[in-house]
Amino acid sequence: MSITLEEEIFGLAVNPFTKSPEMVRRFTLKNSKGMSVSVIQLGAIIQSVCLPDAYKKVDDVCLGFDDIASYVANKGAYIGGTLGRVANRVANGEYTVNDTKVAVTKNIEDKFQLHGGFVGFDSVIWEVVQKTSEGVVFRHVSPHGHEGYPGKLTALITYQLDNENRLWVRYEATTDRSTMVNLSSHAYFNLAGHGSGAKGLAEHTVEIAADHIVDTDELQIPTGKLTEVDDTVFDLRLPVLLRDRLMQFEDRQIKGYDNCFVVNGGQVQKAVAKVAKLVHPPSCRVLEVWTDQPGMQFYTANNIGSVVGKQCTRYVRHGSFCVETEKFPDAMNHPEFPSIGLEPNEKYRHDVLYWFKVEESWKCCCNNEQ
């Protein structure tokens, strides 16, 4: 059984550059194990990820919407979206290269830039350059000066599904002048089902192979330090239950995880390595995250108010998680961080693999019968 690809019209969206409506298509890859992944041209968004659990019950484990209007109305949550040109925060919306200051847009309270600015890669309509059972490839050409960034940046995203329930995502970019790039995905997952809410998320265990996190201030801007996770809520080197851990954030300013974990020893790798594993024991569903990147933002949907998602389900705070592989936030202002600079003769590349598994163990059964 090979992978199949289906294509359909998802809806109309306004192109932020031309201001005219364009047709947005949805592409669904399916494998022989009953898993399917849908991506749409708007934001190269991962719109759904369906897979069976240990009892052959199929659930959609990726949060999203059934229509364009909902994606537009809830743009601030970046649900499923591609983050770019620069994922995460840019302090004070500026950086300096060779004594030249570059000012980028400040889309958060006029204080800093988040996820690429007012029109990030989550809000543009990506063109389709390949659509086969081998995968779907999206392209976006970001004009010179867009959101303040120099250089015409040509970005490619490849989505591939295989029969091992692995979703492969590859980000590539080239530029015609010196610029900054740090792409990521803001897909929200819940292995109990996208609409299972805080109860479903609380049942997950999480494990992240990180000895440090990127230290941040009250605006979540990096200080430049890396903090050891020893004896803190951020020590996830052994699996912990999210229910127990999230309770420990009640007295903190930020109510949950929203931190860049230093993975892969804080260096870009030559190949992908396993950096995180999330397990939902009642369903036996597992998600492993493999990447070549030095950072992974782990986020527990602390800022989701109450959003109506697919099939009229309600998405709530602490009802899902994001595993955003990336280089560190605000890296252009911290020369000690892995560089996010890109020169005209270079190619940016970032690989991430979301490996969905069903791991049946005696523990699963016990948990289910309690």
- Binding site per annotation, positions: 88-89, 186-188, 258
- Of the residues 140, 146, 186, 318, only one is catalytic, namely 186
Contact of 340 with 166, CB cutoff 8 Å: no
Comparing CA positions, the residue from 157, 78, 148, 69 lying closest to residue 106 is 148
Query: DSSP H helical segments within the chain, as ranges?
Result: 68-73, 197-202, 242-247, 362-369
Q: Residue 186 catalytic?
A: yes
Query: Phi and psi at residue 210, in whole multiples of 5°?
Result: -135, 130
Rounded-to-integer distance, Cα 113 and Cα 102, Å = 13
Contact of 280 with 192, CB cutoff 8 Å: yes
- Binding site per annotation, positions for beta-D-galactose: 88-89, 186-188, 258
List Cβ neighbours of 70 (8 Å cut-off, separation of 6 or more).
308, 309
* 316 HSE (CA, 13 A, CB side): 11
- Of the residues 147, 288, 324, 326, only one is catalytic, namely 324
Query: Phi and psi at residue 109, in whole multiples of 5°?
Result: 50, 30
Catalytic residue IDs:
186, 324
